[in-house]
Amino acid sequence: MKVKVLPSEKYDNNAPRQKWALIAAAFCLFLLWKYNQMEAPDKIVLFIIFSFPCRILAAIWIYNIMAKLNRERRSSAFIAFFFPVCMLILAGLSKKKNLAFTIDRSYTSKQQMEEIRAYAKGFIKEKKYNEAAFVYKYLIAELPFTEQDATTYNELLKKATQPVPEYSVVEDK
């Protein structure tokens, strides 16, 4: 039986917004406006030369922003390549999603703990300490934990920038 561990709130209201994405979008719009006022014979060549690297950089930046916001990264980066200004505005206005994860309770508690630890270590590796602390909070509350788990959880609480949300467990269909 699989269960889904959900945070008490869907969005993290304490997380900062991505204001640089909004500033970059405004700058891009200004550049497009200036470009349209230009009267050069090779206008299309200039657009192609400058547009392609900017689109690649915007797609990479959107990919990283969406990773921070716990949102879909690949499709956002793909869309950002074709519509960079729109995606920069969207990224700047988006709220950070709180983490939700699924655990298979048909496993033994030891297997569940190993799965949860591996999941949390991925977040620690990415320096996402709030998400890792949320995962460890579930581990400590629901499963028989070790002293090392408690130590890791306390270290994560010190590194976390926002309070760890409460969770609820729901059967996954």
Boundary (domain end) residue, out of 94, 123, 150 = 94
Say if residue 105 is in the same domain as residue 118. yes
Say if residue 23 is in the same domain as residue 89. yes
Q: Which two tokens stand for residue 44?
A: 């299309």
Say if residue 115 is in the same domain as residue 81. no
Helix/strand/coil for 172: coil
Q: Pairing state of beta strands 167-171 and 2-7?
A: antiparallel
pLDDT at 84 > cutoff 80 = yes
Boundary (domain end) residue, out of 40, 65, 94 = 94
Say if residue 155 is in the same domain as residue 120. yes
pLDDT tens-digit map of 40-82: 777 777 777 888 999 999 999 999 999 989 899 999 999 999 9
Question: How many domains is the chain built from?
Answer: 2
Q: What pLDDT score was predicted for residue 109?
A: 86
Q: What pLDDT score was predicted for residue 92?
A: 92
Q: What pLDDT score was predicted for residue 55?
A: 92
Q: What pLDDT score was predicted for residue 79?
A: 96
Helix/strand/coil for 62: helix
Say if residue 109 is in the same domain as residue 143. yes
Q: What pLDDT score was predicted for residue 104?
A: 86
**Which of 125, 126, 105, 121 shows the shortest CA–CA distance to 153?**
121
Say if residue 131 is in the same domain as residue 167. yes
Task: State the pTM of this model.
Answer: 0.76
Written as one string, the DSSP assignment of 94-144 is: PPEEPP-EEEETTS-HHHHHHHHHHHHHHHHHTT-HHHHHHHHHHHHHHS-
Boundary (domain end) residue, out of 94, 120, 137 = 94
Compute the distance between CA of residue 164 and CA of residue 139 in angstroms, rounded to an integer. Answer: 13
Say if residue 133 is in the same domain as residue 159. yes
* Range with the largest mean pLDDT of 40-49, 82-91, 154-163: 82-91
Q: What pLDDT score was predicted for residue 173?
A: 67
- Higher-scoring residue by pLDDT: 8, 42: 8
Domain that holds residue 143: 2-12+98-171
**Band of the pLDDT at 9, cuts 50, 70, 90?**
confident
Say if residue 61 is in the same domain as residue 111. no
pLDDT tens-digit map of 96-141: 888 888 888 888 888 988 999 999 999 999 888 988 999 999 988 8
Compute the distance between CA of residue 8 and CA of residue 74 in angstroms, rounded to an integer. Answer: 27
Say if residue 120 is in the same domain as residue 59. no
Say if residue 67 is in the same domain as residue 112. no
